[in-house]
Amino acid sequence: MKFLLRSLLIPMAAALCLSDARAQAGGKSLPPIARVKSGVNLFIELHNHLLFASHQAEDTFPEYRTEAKAYREAHELMKDPAAMQIVTNACIAGPDIATIGKAATNLPAGMAAPDQEAVRKMIGAIVSAWPRFKQQDGPDRNRSLQMIWSRVLVKSWGQVQDRLLTTLYDKFAFEPLDKPITVYPVLEANELGASGVTDKGYYTIIPVMKAPGFVVIEELLHEVTHVIDEHQPPGSRSLLIRLRQAGGRADPETLDAFMHGLIAWNAGELIRRFVNADYKPLYDISPDVAEPLVPYLPTYQGPWVGYLEGKISADEVIKGMAASLKPAGAAPAAAPKTGKTGS
């Protein structure tokens, strides 16, 4: 999963509402294990807050000055993404601060010493900050997270997940995973390895502060697509696996950007098509989201839309999209001059 810096500049909006566009969604049933769960985890919220604090001016959060400093030092040491994954997994798994603290004492033998030290610094900072966080900031953050969780991730997502996920599984030809996926909201947008797997199952983390309900659901669908894609069982012939194979001669960075862009663009488009026809996806309202997609919009809005509308087959959409990817070493295609980001 890519690290992603998300914008906090999206204003609050009205509650979710459904439109006639939802009638277009397929009527297939969703396997129980494919239903996405959600929950509030204050250990993850603290970890995320310390990450956020570590990217701010030194005295922005004086009550966590020592812990933010430890996180900054850990950033300098950390080279292996597995180190951050250990910290995040420990917070997800819990179930208490003592157990999380023990995660720093049993690190992989093959992990480089600086990465091990980075894990110890972060875990130590979480353990150090937890008593203050639990007493001072935790109750208010918990109330905010519980409110968003109950209104958006339970009630609103519960109303739309069947039509969105059945369409997602159908169009991407995904196989269900062996464990459920749980989504955990956090308040601040951040640079964070946003998914993983523990004994509890797969998880992903999404920022929710100042984001209207449909944006939260678009982010959820985006990140859940990544989780399903990255953990397809052996033998899966998902559309994304086939597309990577068909585009294998393309520059790897270009192929990665194209695939990530397709997942991001599709998440907003599914909501607009199958839940609320008036919804403006993130690629229409956020320059940060739109900019990386611009070179690929003709493909998303051409072959991929044709596929979503049932006008072309999976084989045809793979062929059409792969043809748009230049072989490694070829000059990149010019971006559209209009700057339009939506259909």
Distance CA 147, CA 161 (A): 19
pLDDT of res. 327: 67
Strands 181-186 and 201-207: what pairing?
Answer: parallel
Percent of the chain with pLDDT over 70: 86
Retrieve residue 107's tokens: 């690190």
Distance CA 74, CA 55 (A): 12
pLDDT of res. 290: 92
Percent of the chain with pLDDT over 90: 78
Residue 16 predicted with pLDDT over 70: no
DSSP element (H, E) containing 186: strand 181-186
Digit-coded pLDDT (tens) for 310-339:
999 999 999 999 998 876 654 444 544 433
The mean of the pLDDT values for the chain is 88
Distance CA 131, CA 138 (A): 10
Q: How big is the CA angle at 264 (ends 263 and 265), to the nearest 5 degrees?
A: 95
**Which of 258, 312, 266 lies closest to 164 in space, CA to CA?**
266
Name every residue whose Cβ is closer than 8 Å to that of residue 133 and which is 6 or more positions away in sequence.
42, 46, 49
- For the beta sheet containing 37-38, the strands, ordered from the edge strand earlier in sequence to the opposite edge, are 37-38, 181-186, 201-207, 195-198
Digit-coded pLDDT (tens) for 208-226:
988 888 999 999 999 999 9
Q: How does residue 2 score in pLDDT terms, banded at 50, 70 and 90? A: very low
Average pLDDT of the residues in 131-149: 97
Average pLDDT of the residues in 157-180: 96
Rg (CA), the chain: 21
Report pTM.
Answer: 0.87
Residue-range domain boundaries for the chain:
36-230, 239-323
